[in-house]
Amino acid sequence: MQPTILIVDDIAVNRMTIKLSLKEEGYSFIDAKDGAEAIQKALTYKPDLILMDAMMPKMDGFEATEKIRQIEQIQRTPILM
């Protein structure tokens, strides 16, 4: 099973650039456009790593990270911002 990375960024080009950069390494990807969507997808897919943008509309990366750390099922997921 491939490690899964959740890419969270409100700019689609940024999400695509990260995917293209890491594609050759054998990862699978999920993406989200804001912090609220990131929390939902993290709960659903249980990624191995979350790459989180700090500045996003609706819910920024700081708030999303704080909420993720309060959810037992995903609180230990590594998050890089």
Count: domains in the chain? 1
Give the residue numbers spanning the domain of 69.
4-80
- What is the pLDDT, as a whole number, of residue 48? 98
What's the pTM?
Answer: 0.95
Report the CATH number that the domain containing residue 43 is assigned in CATH. Answer: 3.40.50.2300
pLDDT at 10: 98
Q: What is the pLDDT along the chain (81 residues), one digit of tens a residue?
A: 899 999 999 999 999 999 999 989 999 999 999 999 999 999 999 999 999 999 999 999 999 999 999 999 999 999 999
In three-state secondary structure terms, 38 is helix
Report d(CA 81, CA 72) in Å as an integer: 20
Q: What pLDDT was estimated at residue 1? A: 80
User: How big is the chain, counted in residues?
Assistant: 81
